Structure 1
């Protein structure tokens, strides 16, 4: 407290000329230090001869505050089976009051915070079993605050009430009068001579030596401090709706469901007798769009109805909005007024908010009807009737979450290629050691005055990728055998020959093996 008073004097740290009153207070405190040797505290909480197994232990934490300081003190109350009570000092915690002036209820609340922290510390650090913990305060205002929700109060009180409610159970808080509160010694102070003698600070309050029926009780009349309550703020929107109200768009999954529900709302049970007309659905669509605009642009709609310009910070300012007096809809003004061939809805599209649920259902309906094309296609089709603010972004955002759009835009996964077969890896063998063959065609050729078919056959070295081409007069086995003989005569006999299951290949397998023993193997690979 002396240091805090020095701060208030605004003096330099090395100024030797201290104020007389602070210098005298320092001298008085220094002279008291000679009595410090007389201060003793018993180390044991209870006598050694006491039977610990038949006792019950309670922790009592007292808190108090003043304009100068605040703090809390804890005592251990031990009661034997015969009813004898022992009180012992456990722990104390004191704080200097903040330099900024606070009300007494706020300082009492700060003291209660130290008491809650002290009880939590003792609960964690004490190794002995404690049956019950009780916290005491002489402020009825603090007790009233603790029984309320922290969000009701201002920031200073609300944060501390929330901390106390988190650290302690609200049922353990009790009231104690100031005369019986030992934490009052923290705020008022005591000299070392007073502390050396038997006193309430070291031995605990006397009422804890008696039964609970003699303990202090909370007064019946409690004054509630309403200055710390938050001011209530009205966050609603008042609007006047004429005629039937359209259903909430967020409750429906598709545009058609919303349209059907709105049409039924407009015509009631009378519309259930037969099929609804196109005019009924047009009225329902107009009602849905009008409600969406009332939710998204209430100020602009009100000013346009009154014939006044919209504010300069409006999102619709660059669109030159106009009010369609027939349907009370906000439409985009433009430069196409003289286009007689265009539809009026295309010349003056209806303005929509991209974040409204109705707009999302509209984008979904257009996307499904157009079979999930790109965003530009959907946006261009919507623009024929509706002008959605940041429309491209809204369409892209929807298509990013649409399962069908993602499926159509997905790219196929390229399969991993298998290992090369042994025939492709004959590195130290001659060309056409491993050969693959296949036929191709037919080709039309002129023979005299007639036209005949001819086929080609390809022999390919699987290692060096060399190619041998030949001509077949027909696609039968005999033509193939002649081509094979010409190939062997020119290129040499292959160690293995691979082909598909062509008819001309398959019918002559036995013949091939017979003519080329141990040198030719026909693998029927498709």
Structure 2
């Protein structure tokens, strides 16, 4: 068997043109596995050995197989061509698969059909019915269609999928939920990958995929056939293609077993519509208006503590009557709960005073624990009243995590699958999503040129700003002083000085002391403070008043003043405040 797999795997066929030939070998290997032989066992004489030797003797004929890989010949005008993709599906008791053809038609109505790709599978060892095998073939065709639409670069106008099984075509036009698991899952996947209107009927005589299930020899593949050139009807106009025959009665063996499940509940109080209430408070007010018949005066109705408690009990009873009607009836009559009840694990108890179902347990003697905490009220997570309660607790706790909300609700209510219900609510809650979202940190921009002057002396580019005031004592007087800081934007070196005032003259004197000690900078960067603006304007006026010769000498030592945009320092201050 090892040598058989070696020979079979050595056949390289990426587009599946030799599928008719290799499928025969895979069927032989499947029959051999049924004999339960091992990898290194010698193949005994018999029908399987004769079939394999006959298949192996055809291998020298592989050199005679030729296939033109150009989809359209020179006789077809390529640019204005209309391309159509046709996929045929078929199945037999031993194999199933699909084959695709490209139909090209130019503006002169010259039609050419070319082979594109084929796929096949050996039928499973567990015997399936023919409709199920035909459905598996249709699924293989849908998957092949998705692959070709993704890989082909040609502008395919539309796709047509062909099947000779009327049962499969009827299934594809129906809802997948009506059928059993095997049929339902495959019908759903086919309906996802393709559209129902793309499927058409073709009889077995014109279905080239029928050759795939029967197999051919290499000598037959080397000759002209419908496998290589496609079915003849594709060369005709669409109005001459096969049409769907009369639909036979549908096979009901693949239908799911249907069971009617209904319940009748009568609510004598006819409470308000729950879908119109967005919050728990809205529901309480709507219930009071409906119960008391209050007129719509525009003002909210008055609600006392006793009225609120009675309305809440009414809503709890309504939720339990809608969620656990059988359990409620059994507990009221003193009978055991049904075996399929969702409340069996909670040891439920019925309270005659409130008319509610409570969780049982062994905490009846705990006098220090409130009754609602010892025996919480049972609620169904799918009921709208329970959803409003979860929303009320979530908003009251400021959209805390599910564990905190569940712990708070457990003080009074026992919600079935409560943790899951709270998480489901918080996934849809805008407030929870906003509080739990991660901040989006913006990317930082490029550094300015003043920060990147690596081979310049310190304070070549200098930023300047003032700070203070600071209170000092001069004799018996109390005066104010301000600090000024010069900072090298490249090396982060700092020069500090003291200002007697925030005037332009004081700034110029501090700047003069800075230049005498640290050297002349190339540029000064500052905000739009009046002292800096005044100092810059005075330097410019002094420079313009100098003699031309002196101007010429000092132009080489000119300092460039760079100011922030107006009010930019205000924005920075606000940012620090946050």
Shorter-normalised TM range = 0.5 to 0.7
Q: Distance in 2 between matches of 1:115 and 1:366?
A: 55
Asked whether the 8 Å contact 1:255–1:365 carries over to 2, the reply is no
Q: What number of residue pairs does the alignment pair up? A: 388
Q: Distance in 1 between matches of 2:104 and 2:117?
A: 16
**How far did 1:39 drift?**
3.2
**How far did 1:127 drift?**
4.1
Question: In structure 2, the residue corresponding to 1:14 is in which secondary structure?
Answer: coil
**Residues 282 and 70 (structure 1 numbering): CA distance in 2 closer, same or farther, change over 3 Å?**
closer
Question: In structure 1, the residue corresponding to 2:120 is in which secondary structure?
Answer: strand
Asked whether the 8 Å contact 2:166–2:247 carries over to 1, the reply is no
Q: Distance in 2 between matches of 1:134 and 1:279?
A: 70
**How far did 1:14 drift?**
2.0
Question: Which residue does the alignment assign to 1:323?
Answer: 351
Question: Which residue does the alignment assign to 1:147?
Answer: 173
Q: For 1:302, which of 300, 313, 329 is the aligned residue?
A: 329
Q: For 1:509, which of 477, 485, 489 is the aligned residue?
A: 477
Aligned-pair Cα RMSD in Å: 4.9
Q: For 1:288, which of 294, 302, 315 is the aligned residue?
A: 315
Q: Distance in 2 between matches of 1:47 and 1:364?
A: 69
Question: In structure 2, the residue corresponding to 1:64 is in which secondary structure?
Answer: strand
Q: Deviations over 1:243-277 (max 9, x none)?
A: 214446786566665444333333436999x9899
**How far did 1:196 drift?**
3.3
Q: Distance in 2 between matches of 1:121 and 1:366?
A: 52
Alignment of 1:351-430 (within 5 A): 351-353=376-378, 356=386, 388-389=413-414
**How far did 1:307 drift?**
2.5
Asked whether the 8 Å contact 2:359–2:377 carries over to 1, the reply is no
Q: For 1:103, which of 129, 134, 137 is the aligned residue?
A: 129
**How far did 1:229 drift?**
3.5
**How far did 1:203 drift?**
2.5
**Residues 242 and 327 (structure 1 numbering): CA distance in 2 closer, same or farther, change over 3 Å?**
farther
Alignment of 1:145-184 (within 5 A): 145-184=171-210
**Residues 23 and 254 (structure 1 numbering): CA distance in 2 closer, same or farther, change over 3 Å?**
closer
Asked whether the 8 Å contact 1:266–1:284 carries over to 2, the reply is no
- Is 1:261 equivalent to 2:311 in the alignment? no
**Residues 231 and 196 (structure 1 numbering): CA distance in 2 closer, same or farther, change over 3 Å?**
same
Asked whether the 8 Å contact 2:161–2:199 carries over to 1, the reply is yes
Q: Deviations over 1:257-306 (max 9, x none)?
A: 5444333333436999x989998767545423432443566555323311
Q: Distance in 1 between matches of 2:412 and 2:146?
A: 62
Q: Distance in 2 between matches of 1:15 and 1:263?
A: 85
- Is 1:74 equivalent to 2:42 in the alignment? no
**Greater radius of gyration (CA):** 1
Alignment of 1:232-243 (within 5 A): 232=258, 238-243=263-268
Q: Distance in 1 between matches of 2:29 and 2:320?
A: 65
Asked whether the 8 Å contact 2:358–2:378 carries over to 1, the reply is no
- Is 1:203 equivalent to 2:171 in the alignment? no
Q: For 2:86, which of 60, 63, 78 is the aligned residue?
A: 60
Q: Distance in 2 between matches of 1:364 and 1:165?
A: 40
Question: In structure 1, the residue corresponding to 2:53 is in which secondary structure?
Answer: helix
Asked whether the 8 Å contact 2:85–2:158 carries over to 1, the reply is yes
**How far did 1:116 drift?**
2.6
Q: Distance in 1 between matches of 2:91 and 2:146?
A: 20
Asked whether the 8 Å contact 1:65–1:108 carries over to 2, the reply is yes
Q: Distance in 2 between matches of 1:154 and 1:195?
A: 39
What are the ranges of 5 or more consecutive residues in structure 1 without an aligned counterpart? 340-344, 369-374, 404-495, 500-504, 512-526
TM-score between both structures, scaled by the size of structure 2: 0.54
